[in-house]
Structure 1
């Protein structure tokens, strides 16, 4: 089986909070190929969370951009963890696997790149395992100017008329597409242009089989353990 397994939002499954250090730790122990997290630049700090509001998976309420530093720092996930920071995730993951960092809000690329560069300088390690992705292609273009060597994943929620053409100007590493808008023709176009095809978010065996059949390279899944069991069964 050729599909890489990327732990979507840290790979929460049904029992751990998404984008939590606990979920990421379990995913690292699963043998998955990579971890995906979501980052917001708020109050001069890089917080790891998906939604644009507090409340669904955290304590507190309100749009993130209207929250104070105190509100953000006091928010708690269901397991009692505070919102992780990008620095904490970088330290936890290290270079154990791929790390896909999705930028959620505008004007975050500079802070993310600075943090990555500081991490590289501190550890003496590499950024080869890092992929920076976003639906905001302006942020990816900014990242390309700041750190051209960093891998970029172009997020697409639809199947454009020109397929993956937008990824060319961004010199992308991958096109990360929604499985609902994913066809063999789209996948073939992505590969013809020299990019990897990663697909979000697939949580069931029939979906994993379909994505493998159309030629996808990696799948983002919430259920890492189930996927790894599926892959072992397929390979046995």
Structure 2
């Protein structure tokens, strides 16, 4: 089972920072998940719309300038990273899930990600693009042939797997609170990888492994590694 650091090893280090991502790999995670906003032609790594919870800044992320965002403390002296910064520390064997929280220009977003791939040499086949906004995913998929799409949901859709099939998704990313064994089995029969978030308790990890889930997003990669081997 893949173990992906959810916002890095975010239980032990400030979430969505280079320290959290580096720690996740030091704890032998197979990959990481992070959250992104498009600001001033760049892609910044942060989860919340508002800066107040995770930084010493204030206001909406999308209403700030890039220099202001780069000046903030994101915890323990860490800075809000650019996506390009994260590419520079990724092992080339890692799985890299980029979740989109804000997108205003598909073409420039793709160009920025592809620049990171070229500069780092990171394999594009190890990247999964996910979002709760499936229109953005469709737009990216149409403009970037072959990129892997993660169909992200916090609900158990009435349409079953229809939303993932409509996206020609590589993987289904589903909330722990709503996933069940039957849905996992149907997704895998449909050829989808199944990843579940956010999984921090060993009993849940073992249960999901028994169900055949392909991967988990966890704040505690060290506990997951010790639990799942």
Residues 112-151 of structure 1: CA deviation (Å, up to 9, x unaligned): 3212222333345531111111111111111111112111
Give the TM-score, by structure 1 length: 0.91
Asked if structure 2 preserves the Cα contact closer than 8 Å seen for 1:103 and 1:109, the reply is: no
Alpha-carbon offset, residue 57 of structure 1: 1.3
- Residue 70 in 1 paired to residue 84 in 2? no
- Quick one: structure 1 residues 221 and 104, their matched pair in 2 at CA, closer, same or farther if it must change by over 3 Å? same
Match of 1:195 in 2: 192
CA distance in 1, matches of 2:121, 2:200: 36
Q: Does 1:49 align with 2:46?
A: yes
Counterpart of 1:112 (choices 106, 109, 113) is 109
Matches within 5 A, 1:205-220: 205-220=202-217
What is residue 103 of structure 1 aligned with on the other side?
100
**Partner residue, 2:37:** 40
Q: CA deviation at 1:66?
A: 2.0
SS of aligned partner of 1:111: helix
Matched, 1:4 2:2: yes
Verify: 1:23 aligned to 2:20, yes or no.
Answer: yes
Residue 62 of structure 1: SS of its match in structure 2?
coil
Post-superposition, which runs of at least 4 consecutive aligned residues in structure 1 deviate over 6 A? none
**Mapped contact 1:109–1:140 kept (Cα < 8 A):** no
Is the CA contact (8 Å cut-off) linking 2:152 and 2:172 kept in structure 1? yes
Instruction: Provide closer, same or farther for how the CA distance between residues 125 and 156 of structure 1 changes in structure 2, counting only shifts above 3 A.
Output: closer
Residues 147-186 of structure 1 aligned to structure 2 (within 5 Å): 147-186=144-183
Query: Which range moves more in the overlay, 196-205 or 85-94?
Result: 85-94
Q: Shift of the alpha carbon at 1:108? A: 5.2
SS of the equivalent of 2:43 reads: strand
Q: Deviations over 1:141-188 (max 9, x none)?
A: 111111121111010010011222111121111000000010112112
